[in-house]
Amino acid sequence: MSSGNNNPIGVFDSGIGGLSVANAISGLLPKESLIYFADTGRVPYGPRTRQEITDFSFEITRFLLDHQCKMIVVACNTATAAALESLRKQWPDIPFVGMEPAVKPAAEATRSGKVGVLATLSTIRSERYAELMRRYAANVEVFENPCIGLVPLIEAGQLNAPETIEQLKEILTPMLAQQVDTLVLGCTHYPFLLPLLKGMVPADCKIIDPAPAVARQVARRLEHLSLAAKPEHPAEYQFFHSGPVADLSFFTDIPWFIHSVKSSK
């Protein structure tokens, strides 16, 4: 039995996308307090340089550590690809959990041998992604799309709007024409489009949302490090955002206490 640590878990993303991960964590670990940082003043990260994304990730991590977070979940594929290694180097005693496009499970699941990856430009261009492809995708064909413009639509709560549907059609049509039967959601914003996506692909097309697997990884790390909250601990949920934010009820049922903060750039 672990000794118990009731400090919060810090979770961050460029915007509200990481709520797909925070929702999975709070569902699996209802005793854990969460502090979420949505960098909505600087979203999207996808078109930014690695250096910018790394600087932002450092700044947000400092903020979360100042708020006594016991673990940091980088709930953003783009920030993970750009900054996770440097974050771990800078804070070797802090446990970090990151995201990665689910190329491995997709390569195992596909029957047509063709996989579609929806991720940001920065993720697709990253060394981390190239390494994933080398390790797991040698025997499958992968079709990527950087989904330019999709994150701002999701941020604006346009989860079922004609522009969103139009954009998804443009992304999916060429993939489906190539017999893609497995789709990887390689950006934490995209699970909010799952209801739409499911209606736009054949019923047997598998869509992989990595959030549940990341929540299980958080649980394993907490247990292993004896950092899990005590069973009687009442969880608290703080949500910080650095810019405009849509109605959170589109994205989460968690009773967040909401704070607005300024980011430095």
* Residue 14 sits in the site that holds ligand DGL (CB under 6 A): yes
169 HSE (CA, 13 A, CB side): 7
Q: Between residue 109 and residue 168, which ones bind ligand DGL under the rule CB under 6 A?
A: 120, 123, 151
Is there a catalytic annotation at residue 205?
Answer: no
According to DSSP, the residues that pair with 117 across neighbouring strands are 144, 184
Q: Which is nearer to ligand DGL, 6 or 242 (CB)?
A: 242
Whole-Å CA distances, 148 to 106, 121, 136, 202: 22, 8, 25, 24
Look at phi and psi of residue 68 and say left if phi exceeds 0, alpha if psi is from -120 to 50, else beta.
left
Which of 6, 57, 77, 182 touches ligand DGL by CB under 6 A? 77
- Copy the structure tokens of residue 194: 């799952």
Residue 126 CB, nearest approach to ligand DGL (Å): 10
Which of 11, 64, 140, 187 touches ligand DGL by CB under 6 A? 187
Residue 190 CB, nearest approach to ligand DGL (Å): 8
Residue 96 CB, nearest approach to ligand DGL (Å): 15
Measured CA to CA, the distance from residue 91 to residue 85 in angstroms comes to 10
238 close to 10: Cβ distance less than 8 angstroms: no
Is there a catalytic annotation at residue 76?
Answer: yes
180 close to 205: Cβ distance less than 8 angstroms: yes
Q: Where in the sequence numbering do the catalytic residues fall?
A: 76, 187
- In the complex, which residues of this chain contact ligand DGL (CB under 6 A)? 13-15, 17, 43-46, 76-78, 99, 120, 123, 151, 187-189
